[in-house]
Amino acid sequence: MSRPPPPRPALSRERVVDAASRVADAGGLSGVSMRSVGRELGVEAMSLYHHVASKDALLDGLADWVFERIDTPSASNPWRSEMERRARSARTVLAAHPWGLGLLESRRSPGPATLGHHDAVIGCLRAAGFSVALAAHAFSVLDAYTYGFVLTEVNLPFGPDESAEDFVADLGPITDQYPHLAEMVAEQVVGRDYRYGDEFDHGLALVLDGLEQRFEG
């Protein structure tokens, strides 16, 4: 005699948002709806409204879901190492879930994880001695760099298994018409096992160097 299938776990806000993240991973943020999340959970869409009030509330939850996965800086550690750790963590999380790029700073009703993360970033900088204005500038430029880098990285015209050198070779000869680009390609890419992703730490160091100079100046 066969056993009956185990009962489904009870629905909760956490389960609904987790399911929405899987829908977004599979089809992007545009594919997230109460109906698609209900299908992912094997329930009717109407049952989700007991846990999230609307699609907007679901998107607020997704923004929190992303921020929960990004390392939160600590005010008890040096500001530069904490900003480095946070930026690298954000890059990893957003590269895995690029739908988050258009979501993180777009919510009019941010949740506790979103607000808590922002407060911790500012708190780390303020504890180090940054003025309120400089902390705001630092927060803005670090996020602009990190988010922009991930946006570029996930939209490169070649896959992770294709080298930049292969891509450049397909462009054909560019020396005469674009001498500066050709010079950079020859010096940085050809025969160098170049990976665009390696640029992240170089750029992050430039941003942090500039902040450090302004902070100490």
Over range 178-198, report the average pLDDT: 82
Per-residue pLDDT tens over the stretch 113-165: 999 999 999 999 999 999 999 999 999 999 999 999 999 999 988 776 677 77
The residues, ordered by sequence, that sit 6+ positions from 33 with a Cβ below 8 Å of its Cβ are: 45, 55
Per-residue pLDDT tens over the stretch 74-105: 999 999 999 999 999 999 999 999 999 989 98
According to CATH, the topology of domain 13-52 is Arc Repressor Mutant, subunit A (1.10.10)
How far apart, in whole angstroms, are the C-alpha atoms of residue 86 and residue 27?
A: 27
Q: Is 17 exposed, middle or buried (0-12, 13-18, 19+ CB in 10 A)?
A: buried
What's the start-to-end Cα distance of the chain, in Å? Answer: 78
Over range 6-16, report the average pLDDT: 84
How far apart, in whole angstroms, are the C-alpha atoms of residue 8 and residue 25?
A: 23
Give how far Cα 176 sits from Cα of 164, 172, 179, 182, Å. 20, 11, 6, 8
Per-residue pLDDT tens over the stretch 17-62: 999 999 999 999 999 999 999 999 999 999 999 999 999 999 999 9
Task: Report the pLDDT value the prediction gives residue 69, as an integer from 0 to 100.
Answer: 98
Task: Report the pLDDT value the prediction gives residue 169, as an integer from 0 to 100.
Answer: 74
Q: At 50, list the tokens.
A: 């007991």
Q: Is 179 exposed, middle or buried (0-12, 13-18, 19+ CB in 10 A)?
A: exposed
Q: Compute how many other C-beta atoms are within 10 angstroms of the C-beta atom of residue 1.
A: 2
Residues of the chain with CATH 1.10.357.10: 66-216
What CATH number is given for 66-216 in this structure? 1.10.357.10
Residue 19 CA to its chain's centroid (Å): 19
Task: Report the pLDDT value the prediction gives residue 2, as an integer from 0 to 100.
Answer: 63
Residues of the chain with CATH 1.10.10.60: 13-52
Task: Report the pLDDT value the prediction gives residue 130, as an integer from 0 to 100.
Answer: 98
